Amino acid sequence: MKKRILHVFVLLVFGIFMTSSFNLAQEKSNEELKKEYAPILGEYAFDWDGPTFTLNFYVEGSALWVDSGDGRPVTMKPAIENTFEFIAEDPINGTFKFKFSKDDQGKYSVCHVVNSGMGLDAKGTKKE
């Protein structure tokens, strides 16, 4: 009986180790993410019913972040694979959806942000 319990325990530990190793292997480094997201990183200026605001998109801690300057940056997760569309969950303001698109010169310089709960639907342009 003890031998069987030990065998099950060893298998469980091995399974946990393999799962955590797999997750670590999937995580990209800051440099890999900066290269992948280079076309969209930087500051964007938005007009929303008169007042303007700025959002900064950057990579830190192996994640893509958005910061409005309020001291509460949030991480962004891909909404659709292989596109520049993301979702960010803010505990106070809810769900934000971001979609980056190219300008007439073929560069990603436009960001469309939507938060239905706030009534936010604005397009911003990348600051040079």
Q: What is the pLDDT of residues 37-92, one digit of tens each?
A: 999 999 999 988 778 899 999 999 999 999 999 999 999 999 988 889 999 999 99
27 or 124, which is more confident: 124
88 contacts 66 by C-beta, under 8 angstroms: yes
For the cut 80, the answer to whether the pLDDT of residue 20 exceeds it is no
Nearest to 124 by CA among 115, 112, 106: 112
Domains of the chain, earliest start first: 30-126 (2.40.128.50)
According to the model, what pLDDT value does residue 124 have? Answer: 96
For the cut 90, the answer to whether the pLDDT of residue 7 exceeds it is no
For the cut 50, the answer to whether the pLDDT of residue 18 exceeds it is no
| Secondary structure of residue 123 in the 3-state scheme | strand
Provide the residue type at 52 as one letter. T
